[in-house]
Structure 1
Amino acid sequence: MKAIIIQTTCSTKEEAKKIAEVLIKERLAACVQLSEIESLYVWNEKFCCDNETLMSVKTRKENFEKVKSKIKELHSYDVPEIIQIDITNASKKYLKFIGDSTNE
């Protein structure tokens, strides 16, 4: 089993918690960490500086498409960030936790 982190941002902590709860209850994620961040970017030719909640979703690599679909379904953004980060070094016990906590 290969483990990954899927990263996305939400406009509110409440939205992030709702998405995280669904992902965990449906066993698509073993763990979701939420962090308050400030994002600077250009959208529709306008400079933006927004407070967001960063979600770090720990799951199996095989679940990427399912998690991506669920995020798109529940997310309020037109173009949510959904990126995959491979976990290259982790303890066997932590990888087992991810595997045991998620479905393929």
Structure 2
Amino acid sequence: MTEPQHPHDRPHDRPDGGPNDRPTEHPHQHVVVTTTHEDEAAARALATALVRERLAACAQVHPIRSVYWWGGEVQDAPEWRVDLKTRAALADRLVARIGELHGYDTPEAIAVPVTTGAPDYLAWLDAETADAPGATPAETPAETPAETPAETPADAPGTA
């Protein structure tokens, strides 16, 4: 008996199992998109621009040390990591915008799914990114119907 495949391990639409040309599908509603920059001021400017554009609700900028291959050699350099919180529906646009604004030849821009989170925080994240320019109705978070108070029985204390 074979083990069932994880959905991410299955080939999608191509019989040969190769990659497809469809946009990335995000099974989760929220993601953290990460990029890096060599300069703190540039990292902060990038974070600010993306939050102002409402492609992310917030960004965190912090110093890191990166070890990576570049130019045929292992590099070891200080960088600034930018973590951007957004809705999964905006992830591809956010990654593309990072590519447009970033100064690196090959900027890191990866999205990691948020599997759970504080409901109030995630609702805030949805609200702050709802007005992203060009957002389609499918990208706009569904509005939660207002809670209606339970009806009070006529014989409950304090009722007339």
For this structure pair, what is the TM-score category when the shorter chain's length is used for normalisation? over 0.9
For 2:69 and 2:31, locate their aligned partners in 1 and report how far apart those are by CA, in whole Å. 28
For 2:74 and 2:32, locate their aligned partners in 1 and report how far apart those are by CA, in whole Å. 28
How many residues are treated as equivalent by the alignment?
104
Q: TM-score, length-normalised on structure 1?
A: 0.94
Q: 1:93 — aligned with what?
A: 120
Structure 1 portions without partners, runs of 5+: none
For 1:69 and 1:15, locate their aligned partners in 2 and report how far apart those are by CA, in whole Å. 17
Deviation per CA, 1:55-90: give whole Å up to 9, x if none: 110000011121111111111111111111100110
Task: Flag the structure with higher helix content.
Answer: 1
3-state DSSP of counterpart to 2:36:
strand
Confirm whether residue 8 of structure 1 aligns to residue 46 of structure 2: no
Deviation above 3 Å: which 4+ runs of structure 1? Answer: none
Q: 2:46 — aligned with what?
A: 19
Q: TM-score, length-normalised on structure 2?
A: 0.62
Pick from 102, 108, 126 the counterpart of residue 81 of structure 1. Answer: 108
Rg larger in 1 or in 2? 2
Percent identical pairs in the alignment equals: 32
Confirm whether residue 64 of structure 1 aligns to residue 91 of structure 2: yes
Q: Which amino acid aligns with 2:117?
A: A
> By how many angstroms is 1:15 displaced?
1.1
Q: 2:79 — aligned with what?
A: 52
For 1:42 and 1:65, locate their aligned partners in 2 and report how far apart those are by CA, in whole Å. 25
Q: Which amino acid aligns with 2:35?
A: T
Confirm whether residue 41 of structure 1 aligns to residue 68 of structure 2: yes
For 2:58 and 2:80, locate their aligned partners in 1 and report how far apart those are by CA, in whole Å. 15
3-state DSSP of counterpart to 1:53:
strand
Task: Flag the structure with higher strand content.
Answer: 1
